[in-house]
Amino acid sequence: MKAVRNIDFSVEKGEMVAFIGPNGAGKSTTIKMMTGILYPTKGSINVLGFDPTKNRRKLAYEIGTVFGQKEQLWTHLTPYDNFKFFGAIYDIPDYAVEKKIEELKELFELGDFINIPVRNLSLGQRIRCEIVASLIHEPKILFLDEPTIGLDPVVKENIRSLIKRMNKEYKTTVFLTSHDVGDIEKLCSRVIIINNGQVVLDDSMENLKYHYLNKKIVEAKMREKVNLEDEDGITILKDKGYNLKIEVDTEKRTVADALKLLNPDNIIDINISNVPLEDIISSIYRKGDKS
């Protein structure tokens, strides 16, 4: 069984790319091939000038990895000791590690807990330390696999802004895998969607939104019942008599057309919103499944 087929893409220095897809799409396989863990049966990979299958060890010095579901820190040691450990692993002299720890401590706001054993940290604090540990050797590419999994919304937001800051500060290329649309939307300027082992979309976040956000959701609370039926460009999603939810395809009809059908005098309350990015991505996944 082939996990991936004919995948072809390149990433620019400093880019933040979301590499997403449903479970079993081939994301992990691709990342593992890019980091030299798995060997492709055909084709070629070039990461920072290295062939990962031949130069895995050399490439390891240039990349960092954070797996939200896999701890790489020593839980009985403090973050500080862990960072020193990672410094040694990457053959960085002591004075340089100290300097880097100081710098990253400020950037990732670790001052309050850098000397507390990792096992006593909250998940959010631990993830921050995981990211810092993966940056000690100043990698050119950072692979982030579900970095915000299990975190509450406030902590997620905090982690995202820290990653953004890190990208701005060090120009580190970020290759992100996540099922969290918030991560993708807020961090990445480009999205690569993979399904059934093939790239089904490779576009900028802006284009994705422009092309796919051509549908508006209109939710209205009515004074009197309205009998509407699907028309070209207007789809009834929910009709509970006084409460209506319709989807307007703005390439075919305007929102104003839809409002006219409802009769503005009959509307008590109304909400017009974009189709959530999550739904857009799901529909792309489904298209990929059909093809």
Partner 1 sequence: MRKYLYIYKSEIMSNLQYVSNILFGFIGYFILLFVFFNLWKYLYSDPNELIHGYSMEQTIWYVIVTEILWGTVGGRKLCQKISNDVKGGNIAYNMNKPYDYVGYSLFNHLGIATIKGIIYIILGFLLGILFLRMVPSHTIITILLVLLSSIMATIISCFLIITIGLFSFLIEDSNPLYWVYSKLILILGTLFPIEFFPKIVQPILTYSPIYAVAYGPAKLFVNFSWDVCLQVFITQMIYITIGYILCKFIYNRGVKKLNVNGG
Choose which of 54, 88, 207, 223 interacts with partner 1 (CB under 8 A). Answer: 88
Does 168 bind partner 1 (CB under 8 A)? Our answer is no
Burial classification of residue 182, based on how many CB atoms lie within 10 Å of its CB (0-12 exposed, 13-18 middle, 19 or more buried): middle
Helix axes 153-170, 94-107, angle to 10 degrees: 130
Query: In the range 89-118, which residues lie near partner 1 by CB under 8 A?
Result: 89-91
CB of 160 closer than 8 Å to CB of 187:
yes
Q: Are 216 and 248 in contact (CB under 8 A)?
A: yes
Give the residue with the Cβ less far from partner 1, 33 or 280.
33
Stretch of 52-60, 194-202, 216-224, 274-282 contacting partner 1, by CB under 8 A: 52-60
Q: Among 221, 226, 200, which Cα is nearest to 281's?
A: 200
Q: Which residues contact 42 (CB under 8 A, 6 or more apart)?
A: none
Neighbours of 291 (CB within 10 A): 9
Q: Does 126 bind partner 1 (CB under 8 A)?
A: no
41 binds partner 1 (CB under 8 A): no
Residue 238 makes contact with partner 1 by CB under 8 A: no
By the rule CB under 8 A, 84 interacts with partner 1 = yes
60 binds partner 1 (CB under 8 A): yes
| Per-residue exposure over 237-261, b if at least 16 CB sit within 10 Å of its own CB, e if not | eeeeeeebebbbeeeebeeeebbeb
What is the nearest approach in angstroms of partner 1 to the Cβ of residue 182? 21
Residue 203 is a binding residue for partner 1 (CB under 8 A): no
Q: Does 185 bind partner 1 (CB under 8 A)?
A: no
Please tell me the total number of residues recorded for the chain in this structure.
Answer: 291
By beta-carbon proximity to partner 1, the closer residue of 65 and 196 is 65
CB of 245 to partner 1, least distance (A): 36
Q: How far is the CB of 34 from partner 1 (least distance, A)?
A: 10
Among 65, 158, 173, 198, binds partner 1 (CB under 8 A): 65
Query: Which amino acid is it at 275?
Result: V
The answer to whether residues 11 and 23 touch, using CB atoms and an 8 Å cutoff, is no
Tokens 């790239």 belong to which residue? 199
Residues of this chain that bind partner 1 (CB under 8 A)? 23-24, 28, 32, 35-39, 56-57, 59-61, 63, 65, 67, 69-70, 72, 74-77, 81, 84-85, 88-91, 145
